[in-house]
Structures are given as structure tokens and as C-alpha cells.
């Protein structure tokens, strides 16, 4: 089982404004020949997306559900309202990241994409993430929700590669070494 993080941050390390707003992110390229920073290739490699409730609710409220027929698990200890058109692909779980990985692995899932600040932090603290891809957007937002929070123990990363794009976006890939 492989667990990966693919996420954008502002240059000062935030994944969203304090209120969860992502207005500082470039508009996603839905169709056409614009740069997608390897996102579609990454998405083609995964079986299941795991995200936290806050991230799910933010994505739903934006009206930009990019995950079409992908299996999505929303981790939440609170009730989550799933829109009717997503009930076949989106499920809610209330368990630890380790337990979820065991369940998904037993069902044949090979590659999980983890999204959402608290959810990513939980997977990292349980030492479940193997790969982190961070796309840094050249903007300073000053304050917001940080990608990384407190860790139980230092987490070493091995840099694999960094790509820079003409628009100033820089993307780095790391292997997590526990």
C-alpha cells in the first residue's frame, strides 16, 4: 500500500487562509492544454482519495468536484452530508488513519491520496505516508492554515526532484523516511 500527499502551499507554507478560502490559488485547468503540474498523471496512479471533513465541505461548496468516479473516503468524527449524486463514490469513516489503511488495503486498494491539513498530519504522525508532492505557489498570504503541524517525532524526507514552471510555480517531490 502506498500513501501519497499531493498539495499546494503558498510560499509561506499555508494550504488555505484561516477561513479555509483558497482564492490565492491559480484557477485549475479543467480542460485544454494548460499546465496541470502533473496532477492528472498523479490522479491516474491512485485508487482512493482520503480527505478530512473540512476539506470535503470546502470542495463541495466550491462546486468544483474534480474526482468524478473516484472512490473517496471522508474521515470525520462528525456527521457529513454527502450530496445525492456522490453517494455511490463517497463514503464517510470515523477511524484512525492506521485502521483506514488496513481496511482499504484489505479491499485491494494499492495507492491512497491523502488531502487536507489535519488528515495529512494524522497520516504523517501515524507514519503512513511514503511520498509528499508539494507545489509552492509564488504568493505570500501572511497567515492561514499551515500544511504541517506538531509531529510526535522528527520526520526525515529524501528529496527526489524539483521542477520549476514558467509561471513561477515550483513543485518538489519527497520520499518520507521513518
Number of domains in the chain: 1
**CA-based torsion, 16, 88, 108, 106: positive or negative:** positive
Using one digit for the tens of pLDDT, what is the confidence trace for 111-169?
999 999 999 999 999 999 999 999 999 999 999 999 998 888 899 999 999 999 999 99
Cβ–Cβ < 8 Å for 40, 68:
no
Range of the domain at 116: 2-25+36-177
Tell me which residue of 47, 84, 39, 89 sits closest to 68, measured CA to CA.
Answer: 89
Asked, for residue 31, whether it belongs to a domain, the answer is no
pLDDT at 48 over 70: yes
Asked, for residue 128, whether it belongs to a domain, the answer is yes
CATH of the domain at 47: 3.40.430.10
Using one digit for the tens of pLDDT, what is the confidence trace for 16-35?
999 888 899 987 555 556 78
CA 144/CA 21 separation, integer angstroms: 9
Amino acid at each position: 500500500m502506498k500513501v501519497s500527499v499531493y498539495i499546494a502551499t503558498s510560499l509561506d507554507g499555508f494550504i488555505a487562509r484561516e477561513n479555509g478560502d483558497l482564492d490565492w490559488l491559480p484557477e485549475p485547468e479543467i480542460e485544454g492544454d494548460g499546465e496541470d503540474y502533473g496532477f492528472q498523471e498523479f490522479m491516474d496512479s491512485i485508487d482512493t482519495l482520503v480527505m478530512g471533513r473540512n476539506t470535503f465541505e470546502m470542495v463541495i461548496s466550491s462546486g468544483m468536484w474534480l474526482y468524478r468516479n473516484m472512490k473517496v473516503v471522508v474521515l470525520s468524527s462528525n456527521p457529513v452530508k454527502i450530496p445525492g449524486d456522490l453517494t455511490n463514490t463517497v463514503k464517510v469513516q470515523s477511524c484512525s488513519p492506521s485502521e483506514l489503511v488496513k481496511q482499504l488495503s484489505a479491499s485491494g486498494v494499492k495507492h491512497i491520496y491523502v488531502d487536507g491539513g489535519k488528515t495529512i498530519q494524522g497520516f504523517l504522525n501515524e507514519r503512513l505516508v511514503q511520498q509528499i508532492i508539494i507545489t509552492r505557489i509564488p504568493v505570500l498570504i501572511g497567515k492561514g492554515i499551515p500544511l504541517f503541524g506538531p509531529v510526535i517525532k522528527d520526520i526525515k524526507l529524501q528529496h527526489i526532484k524539483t521542477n520549476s514552471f514558467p509561471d513561477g510555480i515550483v513543485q518538489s517531490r519527497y520520499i518520507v523516511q521513518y
